[in-house]
Structure 1
């Protein structure tokens, strides 16, 4: 049997300086960001298991909100996702894999979701 533990924070709306078109480059635009982090699991979680055996999910929220520099223009939303992933890998060795989904809210015309999903495992992480 293989056990897997994913921490998730979904549906965050974050204003980020991003875009390639002139109308996008001067003001932050709203992105909907969701983050999943696969963690190394403890053998067992009983009622008294301390947080140190898992991860505070607020760290995921921070990486996708306050952890994104406000004064940096990210040309591609891929680079926003990359920044979030790098932040989480640096925070905690228990993070084995990270998935970031970003939806560009400003370009939706009829409620569709246009964006990317990026996933990286620690084995494939850049040195």
Structure 2
């Protein structure tokens, strides 16, 4: 049996700066930590996008941004930034069943010096 590749539409929002309650060290647990978050979502792609294709055939880029800026509760302390990435991915999967894969990159700005990026990238596939 020959397996064919599925066409995907990749939406991206990069370098959102946000401060969230995160960390496990005592100096990290008192104040929100500055983070830089980038999100990529792969969706099932229709055969073609004609010039008059409505937005409903795709996904609003702002949904990705809102999964970071609005959907993360500000009063919850996330011990690990991995749990923030999971929250963002879960939000996008729940919003739209066409989302097949979500990648979340988080950089911890407070420990990044001299231009390096210290953090993680998590990739989750649709349940």
Band of TM-score, shorter chain: over 0.9
Inter-partner Cα distance in structure 2 for 1:13 and 1:5: 25
User: How many pairs align?
Assistant: 123
1:93 is paired with a residue whose SS is coil
- Does residue 8 of the first structure (1) align with residue 12 of the second (2)? yes
2:106 is paired with a residue whose SS is strand
* CA-CA distance at 1:4 after TM superposition: 2.5
Coordinate RMSD, CA, aligned: 1.1
Inter-partner Cα distance in structure 2 for 1:71 and 1:97: 28
TM-score when scaled to structure 1? 0.93
Query: Unaligned regions of 5+ residues in structure 1, if any?
Result: none
* CA-CA distance at 1:109 after TM superposition: 2.2
Name which of 50, 61, 67 aligns with 1:46: 50
TM-score when scaled to structure 2? 0.93
Partner of 1:108: 112
Query: Unaligned regions of 5+ residues in structure 2, if any?
Result: none
1:32 is paired with a residue whose SS is strand
Inter-partner Cα distance in structure 2 for 1:105 and 1:86: 24
* CA-CA distance at 1:26 after TM superposition: 1.0
Please give the residue correspondences for 1:1-127 in structure 2 after superposition, counting only pairs within 5 Å: 2=5, 3-122=7-126, 125=127
